[in-house]
Amino acid sequence: MSENQKYLSISALTAYLKRKFDVDPYLSKIYITGEISNMGRRRGRHLYFSIKDPNGQAVISAAMFSYANRLKFEPEEGMKINAIGRVQLYEPNGTYAIILEQMTPDGIGDLFLAYEQLKKKLSAEGLFNLPKKVLPLFPKKIAVITSPTGAVIEDIAKTVQRRFPTAQVVLFPAVVQGEKSAESIIKQLIRVDQSNDFDTLIVGRGGGSIEDLWSFNDEQLARSIAAVKVPVISSVGHETDNTLVDLVADHRAATPTAAAELATPITLNQLLSRLNELQVRLNLIMKKRIDVQRDRVNRVANHIIFQQPDRLYIGYNQKLDQLNYGLSQSIQRYIVDASHHLDVLTQRHKQIGVHLLQQPKEKLYILAAKLDTMSPLKILDRGFVMMEKSNKIVKQISDIEIGDQVELRLSDGKATAKIMEKSEIINE
């Protein structure tokens, strides 16, 4: 062997060491305990951190692939854990790390830790402090999401039938335990909420271990219940069991029977008893009011006015007579004054008429005299005759012909004549 053959390359050395790590039975499955350090290196679905001794004297890198499917709690900085995995050497840089298969909190169950962590998260968001919806006093339809084969639905149905038989109980069957249970319950929640046909919703199952009840600690289920419009009653497990669904629901019942009692706050017998009580009170109130009104009517009916109704209008009759007498006197005075005023106006009218007509009358007499002097009748009185032919006055000899028949108007009558002869007067 030459001197150079004694030396190994880095690749050859790390390959040799990696093989040693891989075939060593003590490194293929190891159990370690320590504290989480350098938390925060998450790459997609994978988790990278360190595990150290409490005193800090030793540190080893750690990794867990697809950790979300392996863990029910959220690893935190400084958390003490118990882990199972294998030691693996990384050839490119010669470092080694522990690849974890399992990890649980030291001294506390991983489910309980996951529950506390999620509870803290949802509480910080205020999901548990949302306004609680009020349950109706007289429910018509009650939806129940639970297993169709368990005692829960039977207890609820019997209790509702006993307390308030008019309410209808409708089962929405769901898986309440196992990996698919939360998804099954959420699906039925959506059905109930979208139907808009129910006024109360009960979500429940019987008791069990924390693993059995783990579906009711599902984050998505808790958020779905908080978003439902219908008032939700949670009845999960026994009285000592507490799930996130209990905290986010509007009301919590320790048992299915208690849930049914919450959903029917007033029993039918209580309702009927209350109605009877109210009926009696109403009858007493109405009787009292009727008696009061009857007394008022009697007092009014016995009033002196209704006994002697003429008293109502005696005073008015007297006043009316006075007013009629006063009106009559006023009319008489008005008539007298108006008559006197009319006489005065008539006299003045006559005087004015005489005065205004005097001059026209005298002038008319003068004109009439002048007209009379010019009247043809006056001329006829002096022996003249007026000749007419065909209702026209004959003024000239040329207006008539021999043989014409003419009318002669005299001062005291008319005569008809025939022209026998005519001649013209020649003025020299």
For the chain, give every residue range classified as CATH 2.40.50.140: 8-108
**Distance (Å, whole) CA 10 – CA 14:** 6
Question: How does pLDDT run across 25-78, given as a tens digit for each residue?
Answer: 888 888 988 888 887 666 778 888 888 887 768 888 899 888 888 887 788 877
pLDDT at 1: 52
Question: How does pLDDT run across 180-222, given as a tens digit for each residue?
Answer: 899 999 999 999 999 999 999 999 888 777 777 888 988 999 9
pLDDT at 202: 95
Residue 368 has pLDDT above 80, yes or no: no
Structural contact between residues 140 and 168, judged by C-beta atoms closer than 8 angstroms: yes
| Residue 316 pLDDT grade (very low, low, confident, very high; cuts 50, 70, 90) | confident
Question: How does pLDDT run across 369-384, given as a tens digit for each residue?
Answer: 777 666 666 777 777 7
Encoding tokens for residue 183? 């998804």
Q: State the fold for domain 116-266.
A: Rossmann fold (3.40.50)
What's the chain's average pLDDT? 84
Across 128-142, 207-221, 354-368, least confident range: 354-368
* Mean pLDDT confidence for 176-181: 86
CATH number of 8-108: 2.40.50.140
**Whole-number Cα distances in Å, 187 to 75, 135, 141:** 30, 23, 19
Q: Which of 279-288, 302-311, 338-347 has the highest mean pLDDT?
A: 279-288
Closest CA to 232 of 245, 216, 219, 217: 245
Cβ-count burial of 84 within 10 angstroms (0-12 exposed, 13-18 middle, 19+ buried)?
middle
For the chain, give every residue range classified as CATH 3.40.50.2300: 116-266
